[in-house]
Structure 1
């Protein structure tokens, strides 16, 4: 059975225009593998990381002025 604990999923209110800002913020944090599903009503943010935790990402996104919560 595969372990997918390194894939972090979040529900957000992000828009296409926010991608540049996030690219810069994520680069500073060493996050290189991420994407936002703008076609999904939950604007799902997916981050691949073995080191970062959900709470840290939520604080990071909210600190930029966006809504963010763990997607279950």
Structure 2
């Protein structure tokens, strides 16, 4: 069995409420290239973590930008 290294992308966002989270959940859940995602609304940076072996940071930023949310990659 081959070990796969998960590619975790981490972003700071301006997603502030559960309602905002619901708006993006439809997009993220519907994207077959996203294995898993989490959003920490308690963190000051509203940290979004996405596990994907194929998507780039730029593609995720564009997905959120299309829903009028700010998103920037964290190191």
TM-score using structure 2 length = 0.82
- 4+ long deviations beyond 2 Å: none
Count of aligned residue pairs for this structure pair: 70
C-alpha RMSD of the superposition: 1.8
TM-score using structure 1 length = 0.85
Give the number of the structure whose alpha-carbon radius of gyration is greater.
Answer: 2
Unaligned runs of 5+ in 1: none
Q: Mean Cα displacement is larger for which, 25-34 or 51-60?
A: 25-34
1:5 Cα deviation from its structure 2 partner: 6.1
Of 55, 58, 63 in structure 2, the residue corresponding to residue 55 of structure 1 is 58
Unaligned runs of 5+ in 2: none
